[in-house]
Structure 1
Amino acid sequence: MPGRRCAITRAEDYTVRIAGPSAGPPFTRAVLDVAGAVLTWPVLGPTGLPAAEIHDVGQAQQWLWALYGERTAAAVDAVASGTQAVDLTLPEQPTALADTAGRLALGHWAARWWPTSHLDGIPALEPDVLGLELAALTHECQQLLDESGELEGAELLEEHLAALDPLIRWRQSAAPPRQLDGVLRLIDDAAGSVGLDGETLRRLRSALERNHTSAAAPLDLAELSPRQQEFTLTAGSLRTATGRVIARGSGTNDWCRYPPGFVDAAEDAVSWTAYALGAGRRIEVEVVADIAAPVGGVRLAAEVHVDGGPPNRVPLARRDDVWGGRADLDIPASTTPRIEVGILLPGFDPGPGADDRAAREAVRALARHRLGVAAAPHDSGAAHPDPFLAEIAAASAVEEDF
């Protein structure tokens, strides 16, 4: 099979672009900041070489040849120097660096966009476990990074060290994931390269000097999954005791309008009910919260449009497992209103985007597929990239619940 044809062009601001697949909504793109450029892979499309926006060709030359090959590196240099756009065929098989970089970008995507949902049965990924694997991959991708990228890798390692002891015990269990040993050795190497030390890292170095079968306390994989609190929906407690229901429905759960961890990712996580209270009209909005949603001083809001009119903001407060709020609306008593409700975090919200329901459903399908692969991580015949350690732990925790 021939490699993908690609255009290399220069924009008016002198940014050089290596064209890639057409962009979708932000939650369908895996993005990696590297020395002199930003690389982008489609999460839902075929894996391979990324698209690139190169703002510093001199910096990028340290990795372009290793990622795309010498012909592409030379073409980028020529286009940056004033040559007209170049069309060429990218290599058919990604290089080892491209594979690792794509995996690192996908891991950052999972940290931001993984569609955790109690309603849809998609478990959360343990952030410390994912963070340690990202630190290992960052160290493996040093050739791509500038000083800020290398610093980010060191910060990831320090921030997520809490998961290291369970990972060491997992390595010493009867059936550790096949990539775990390599991840731990990269963590050890990364820690040494930045001068990190401590009791946990010393235990890691000692474990790596011994066989996998060394005696260790048994590992409960629940240690590698987020704590699953009892999930009891309190929906309905906001609702007015008196009043006639004039309309109800589901709102839009646009993942881009609030940070991760606030809202259950299910499409039907947002619901609303409009009431007639005498001559007045009131809307009550309820949103299923993510189990890890922050509660201190941060409030979501519902954006309510009535019959296509200007937005009304309804502040939402966190109550157990639901964000809820109510507001009076100006609706003529003689009409049945057309109401649209979206959820956002004021100050974070980039504004409503296109209707991306199909893309969100495709991401949920991808998450379920990856969890299915993760449930059988030792199937060496599976034609899939290795799942992340956090996905394997999440899939195992789901199996133990049944």
Structure 2
Amino acid sequence: MPGTGGGTDGTGIRVTRAEDGIVRIAVPAAAGPAFTRAVLDVAGAVLTWPVLGPTAHPAAEIHDPGRAQQWLWAIYGERTAAAVHALAAEPPGASTDVMPPESPGPPERPGSETALAGYAARLALGHWAARWWPASYTDGIPALELDLLGMELAALTHRCQQLFDDPEDQPDSDPAELVETHRAALDPLIRWWQAARETASGPVRQLDGVVRLIDDAADCAGLEGDALRRLRSALDAGVPHDPGGAHGLRTPLDLGSLFTRSGDYALAAGERLGVGGRVIARGSGTNDWRRYPPGFVDSAESAVSWTVSAVGAGRRIEVEVVADVAAPVGGVRLAAEVRVEGGPPTRVSLARRGDVWAGRADLDVPASLPPRTRIEVGVLLPGFDPDPEPGDGADGTDGRADRDAVRALARHRLTTAAQPESQEPQGTYTRSLHAPFLAEIVAAATDAGEDF
């Protein structure tokens, strides 16, 4: 999990100027596929935290050291900032290890001068959750309410403005745009905040911090609207803090009724494509999350299934993929990529039908398939697919072990979010990377009352 600064494993920070002119800050971190990394595009650089496993601070690729100086000292400390400045004028290949004046000794403690390192790590993790959260009906991992998550990201982005300087090349750096995009969550967020204050229950400080940052961001950007006016009025008037008194709520707030959730979702509701013939092979495919956008496919490892039938002298494959509860219904088609014995791929167009993406195609294979023929099936969105290299996972195969680790992380965070004592961390909530996001608290509360 990304760290908040302070503490290292004793190997230090290496700063290097590469052949392409980029200055890199390398830190000890486990390599892994894209869905195991939290990334933040900041002024003059890209910061990357590993999501799985401990780390003290991010790696960085700095393409504009001058712009990066506005935040480098706050994330890594003054020595690292000075090393980056010095190496920017050195020839390619130059490098230095940042150590304290008294050598030998532990490396500099990044982020010790300011809380910005913690805010940045939490913001990056929030963007990771918006992109890679492994929502799955079949695995029992509820989806996050993305508008609520977006509102908290708006608050964090506003707090992290020191990291940004140009919305043109930092698309997630505009808190006002995030507020506008996720405005649907504002009214229920205000109601939750008011109820939490009245009953002195739930993540009061976290809600208070989020709504105040949102109000300040909206005020700075000149945003208007009924919900924002209600927020400003509530902040100006103050909220009674009288648990159990005249203003107290007699029953706990039902978070599930506050925030929009997808409607009924009956697994495998549609009829199969069955076209007759004799089934000669069946199996499960690979569900590589990198090959389609979020919200399209259930994240379970068993979401992709296939059947090969003998139809006359030919062979036909049918593919079914469990859809995400929010998957688009029309206008978009996924595809399955089928390989037989490592041969060239056959594309099978998939259409949304009920709760599955489904399609079929004829296979150009010998009529007499050997009993143990290797058939590989994966799902992708044409035009989006990054065509990942085989064996890109840390397990040396297709990333299955990494995906399992991400599922375990999501379940752990939901378990934490369901515990009231975890919802009010000491100190400023945005500095605590382990504190649940508001969207995780809602997902955990809603999941507890549903047969998910």
TMscore range, shorter length:
over 0.9
Could you tell me how far 1:92 is from its partner in structure 2? Answer: 5.9
Residue 245 of structure 1: SS of its match in structure 2?
A: strand
Return 351-360 or 130-139, whichever deviates more: 351-360
Say which of 315, 324, 337 aligns to 1:281.
315
Are the aligned partners of 2:320 and 2:359 in contact in 1 as well (CA < 8 Å)? Answer: yes
Q: Residues 199-278 of structure 1: matches in 2 within 5 Å?
A: 199-209=226-236, 210-213=238-241, 215=247, 219-234=253-268, 237-240=271-274, 242-278=276-312
Distance 2:262 2:207 in 1: 24
Q: Show structure 1 runs of 5+ residues with no match.
A: none
Return 356-365 or 91-100, whichever deviates more: 91-100
Counterpart residue type for residue 85 of structure 2: D
1:10 equivalent to 2:17? Answer yes
> What CA deviation, in whole Å up to 9, does each residue of 1:172-191 have, x standing for no partner?
22213131101111111111
Distance 1:22 1:47 in 2: 9
Q: How many residue pairs end up in the alignment?
A: 402
Corresponding residue number in structure 2 for 1:109: 128
Q: Cα gap change, 1:340/1:236 in structure 2, threshold over 3 Å: closer, same or farther?
A: farther
Q: Cα gap change, 1:395/1:267 in structure 2, threshold over 3 Å: closer, same or farther?
A: same
Return 211-220 or 372-381, whichever deviates more: 211-220
Corresponding residue number in structure 1 for 2:103: none
The alignment's TM-score, normalised by the length of structure 2, stands at 0.84
Identity %: 66
Could you tell me how far 1:122 is from its partner in structure 2? Answer: 0.5
> What CA deviation, in whole Å up to 9, does each residue of 1:243-286 have, x standing for no partner?
21111000000000111111000000000000112211110000
Corresponding residue number in structure 2 for 1:42: 50
Corresponding residue number in structure 1 for 2:4: none
Counterpart residue type for residue 207 of structure 1: A
Are the aligned partners of 2:188 and 2:259 in contact in 1 as well (CA < 8 Å)? Answer: no
Are the aligned partners of 2:185 and 2:259 in contact in 1 as well (CA < 8 Å)? Answer: no
Could you tell me how far 1:103 is from its partner in structure 2? Answer: 0.3
Say which of 197, 200, 205 aligns to 2:224.
197
Could you tell me how far 1:90 is from its partner in structure 2? Answer: 3.5
Are the aligned partners of 1:302 and 1:341 in contact in 2 as well (CA < 8 Å)? Answer: yes
Are the aligned partners of 1:7 and 1:19 in contact in 2 as well (CA < 8 Å)? Answer: yes
Counterpart residue type for residue 439 of structure 2: A
1:394 equivalent to 2:443? Answer yes
CA RMSD of aligned residues (A): 2.1
Return 44-53 or 183-192, whichever deviates more: 44-53
Counterpart residue type for residue 105 of structure 1: A
Could you tell me how far 1:320 is from its partner in structure 2? Answer: 0.7
Distance 1:8 1:233 in 2: 51
Say which of 135, 138, 142 aligns to 1:119.
138
> What CA deviation, in whole Å up to 9, does each residue of 1:38-57 have, x standing for no partner?
00000112143111100111
Counterpart residue type for residue 68 of structure 1: Y
Q: Cα gap change, 1:139/1:220 in structure 2, threshold over 3 Å: closer, same or farther?
A: same
Distance 2:160 2:377 in 1: 43
Corresponding residue number in structure 2 for 1:176: 202
Distance 2:273 2:158 in 1: 52
Corresponding residue number in structure 1 for 2:344: 310
Q: Cα gap change, 1:24/1:15 in structure 2, threshold over 3 Å: closer, same or farther?
A: same
Distance 2:62 2:308 in 1: 51
Distance 2:36 2:434 in 1: 18
Counterpart residue type for residue 25 of structure 2: I
Are the aligned partners of 2:270 and 2:353 in contact in 1 as well (CA < 8 Å)? Answer: no
Q: Residues 249-398 of structure 1: matches in 2 within 5 Å?
A: 249-336=283-370, 337-353=373-389, 354=391, 355-379=398-422, 385-398=434-447
Say which of 133, 140, 155 aligns to 2:159.
140
Q: Cα gap change, 1:384/1:198 in structure 2, threshold over 3 Å: closer, same or farther?
A: closer
Could you tell me how far 1:22 is from its partner in structure 2? Answer: 4.0
The alignment's TM-score, normalised by the length of structure 1, stands at 0.94
Are the aligned partners of 1:163 and 1:224 in contact in 2 as well (CA < 8 Å)? Answer: no
Q: Show structure 2 runs of 5+ residues with no match.
A: 1-6, 99-106, 392-397, 427-431
Corresponding residue number in structure 2 for 1:55: 63
Distance 1:64 1:384 in 2: 20
Counterpart residue type for residue 115 of structure 1: P
Counterpart residue type for residue 162 of structure 1: A
Residue 230 of structure 2: SS of its match in structure 1?
A: helix
Counterpart residue type for residue 169 of structure 1: R
